[in-house]
């Protein structure tokens, strides 16, 4: 498998994570993978599914339904009372069993997936916590200096390496510990504020809400990256409630464009992208699906997801930026 790209960047997506699955499927034809993935929210779950699928076409075979994430609530429930008293509308389902049955533990070390979450202090200060599946000595983040970032409120949680873990005298196998660490990361980065209750002692919430993708790392180097867009870049007729979300994503894309000044035409196949890149040294790509669909994040089935993935697979396009 060839590595042509340093980074894949998968931002917050909501139900549009189906676009990410379709893009992974399309890229699987070319036997490529990145050095690492920066992800948030649904982008994180999609990234783990792609890694567990060895970046092959089997990524589309994963089963998803809303009951995996959100507990059903009857129409006569006191949901609004829960919201007013506790600040969230739904309870989160426990998908530990689903993930542990379907994820391959040793594959968790194949490639680094960087994600994160945020917490709020009593003084309404936002703290950003990055997480990764790689221990510090192997991580891209090992030399990260939090003092260089916004408000100096950034920290990193690394899993222990195998030797360090053995010294804890834990009876669990190291890969079981790493699996639990990664499951917690997926939970925390996809925990939508006000929709789901904050997780754990730190009250973790969806990283993508305040940073659509982990671009606080994007000084990391946007060159040789593929940005997976969760929106149809050809459609500006969005409903009001979607505008803020789309503005966040488009702000992300504008930042990419400003880093690599020139832009090519839109390509309908990745073959044409690869031909164009043959003699280029600095480039990044935005992949998107030029189709629209309606799905509710709180009520969808696996059949609905497969239908939308098939729709997206037929409408994938690529924009290349280069110096």
Give the model confidence (pLDDT) of 95-128 as tens digits.
677 777 888 888 999 999 998 887 776 666 777 8
Q: What is the pLDDT of residue 194?
A: 56
| Average pLDDT rounded to a whole number, residues 286-304 | 86
Q: Which residues contact 158 (CB under 8 A, 6 or more apart)?
A: 132, 134, 135, 136, 139, 141
DSSP label of 297: T
| Average pLDDT rounded to a whole number, residues 25-45 | 90
For residue 261, name the pLDDT band (cuts at 50, 70, 90): confident
Under a CB-based contact definition with an 8 Å cutoff, are residues 42 and 190 in contact? Answer: yes
Q: How far is CA 75 from CA 80, 94, 206, in A?
A: 11, 22, 26
Count how many Cα atoms sit within 13 Å of the Cα of residue 246 in the half-sphere of its side chain. Answer: 13
| Average pLDDT rounded to a whole number, residues 46-56 | 93
Give the model confidence (pLDDT) of 170-184 as tens digits.
777 999 999 989 988
Give the model confidence (pLDDT) of 213-239 as tens digits.
565 554 556 678 899 998 888 876 655
Q: What is the mean pLDDT of the chain?
A: 80
For residue 315, name the pLDDT band (cuts at 50, 70, 90): very high
| Average pLDDT rounded to a whole number, residues 267-280 | 91
Q: What is the pLDDT of residue 87?
A: 46
Q: How much is the CA Rg of the chain, to the nearest whole Å? A: 19
Q: In the beta sheet, which residues pair with residue 263? A: 321
Q: What is the pLDDT of residue 317?
A: 96
Distance separating alpha carbons of residues 200 and 195, to the nearest angstrom? 16
Under a CB-based contact definition with an 8 Å cutoff, are residues 60 and 34 in contact? Answer: no
Distance separating alpha carbons of residues 253 and 256, to the nearest angstrom? 5
DSSP label of 160: P
At 88, phi and psi to the nearest 5?
A: -145, 155
**260 vs 86, higher pLDDT:** 260
| Average pLDDT rounded to a whole number, residues 202-223 | 61
């Amino acid at each position: 498998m060839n590595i042509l790209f340093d980074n894949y960047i998968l931002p917050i997506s909501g139900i549009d994570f189906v676009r990410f699955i379709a893009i992974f499927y399309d890229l699987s034809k070319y036997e490529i993978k990145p050095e690492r993935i920066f992800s948030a929210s649904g982008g994180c779950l999609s990234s783990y599914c792609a890694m567990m699928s060895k970046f092959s076409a089997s990524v589309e075979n994963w089963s998803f339904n809303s009951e995996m994430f959100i507990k059903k609530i009857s129409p006569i429930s006191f949901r609004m009372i829960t919201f007013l008293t506790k600040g969230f509308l739904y309870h989160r389902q426990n998908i530990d069993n689903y993930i542990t049955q379907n994820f391959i533990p040793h594959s968790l070390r194949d490639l680094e997936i960087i994600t994160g979450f945020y917490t709020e202090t009593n003084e309404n200060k936002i703290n950003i916590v990055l997480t990764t599946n790689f221990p510090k000595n192997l991580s891209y983040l090992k030399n990260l200096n939090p003092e260089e970032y916004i408000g100096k409120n950034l920290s990193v949680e690394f899993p222990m390496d195998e030797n360090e873990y053995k010294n804890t005298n834990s009876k669990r196998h190291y890969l079981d510990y790493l699996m639990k660490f990664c499951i917690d990361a997926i939970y925390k980065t996809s925990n939508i504020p006000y929709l789901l209750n904050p997780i754990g002692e730190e009250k973790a919430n969806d990283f993508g809400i305040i940073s659509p993708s982990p671009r606080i790392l994007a000084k990391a180097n946007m060159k040789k990256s593929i940005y997976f867009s969760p929106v149809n870049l050809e459609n500006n007729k969005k409903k009001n409630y979607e505008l803020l979300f789309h503005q966040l994503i488009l702000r992300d894309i504008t930042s990419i464009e400003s880093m690599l000044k020139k832009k090519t035409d839109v390509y309908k196949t990745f073959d044409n992208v690869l031909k164009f890149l043959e003699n280029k040294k600095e480039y990044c790509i935005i992949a998107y699906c030029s189709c629209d669909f309606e799905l509710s994040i709180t009520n969808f089935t696996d059949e609905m997801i497969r239908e939308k993935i098939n729709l997206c697979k037929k409408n994938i396009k690529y924009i290349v930026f280069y110096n």
